[in-house]
Structure formats: C-alpha cells, structure tokens
Amino acid sequence: MSNKPKKSSAARSIRTYLTLSFAAATFIGVLVFFGTGGTSQAEGAFERTAIWFGITFIVSLVTIATLALSVKEDDSDPNKPRLK
C-alpha cells in the first residue's frame, strides 16, 4: 500500500459551501423578484431582491458550515470490518 495523502473531502470544500449557498440565494432572489411584481413594478424590486439574496446567502452559508462541523470524519480503514 502506498501512503498517499488523503484528499480533502468534497463535502468539506469551500467551493461546495459557496455553490450551495449561491444556488439557494439565487432561488430565493428569483422568487422575491417575480413575487413582488418583477419588471412591472420595478421601483424597489431590485433592492428587495438584493437584500433577500444577501440574507439568504449568508444564512445558508452559516447553516451549511455549522452542519458540516457537526459531522465527524471517518478515519477508519474501509478494508477492515467495523464489527468483529
């Protein structure tokens, strides 16, 4: 067996956190934009959308990072049985 360094877990990557947060914020932003009148009532629509986008991005980023901290890394050898 070679002693290769462990790859960083894909679930722990900052790119993954940012992508999931951006997707959630985009979804909420689109809902707010079209739910508040969209282009027909353009006065304030972009400001409301930006505010909701930012709030959703920050809250989802903190939530995802907190949930990732609560998960324990599995350092056991995958070739050995857990139960004896």
In the block, residue with structure tokens 């990557």: 13
The Cα 62–Cα 21 span in angstroms is 9
Contacts of 17 (CB under 8 A, 6+ apart): 61, 64, 65, 68
Residue scoring higher pLDDT (61 or 10): 61
- Distance CA(56)–CA(35), nearest Å, equals 16
Which phi and psi angles does 42 have, rounded to 5°? -70, -15
Question: Does the reported pTM lie above 0.75?
Answer: no
Q: Which residue has the higher pLDDT, 42 or 44?
A: 44
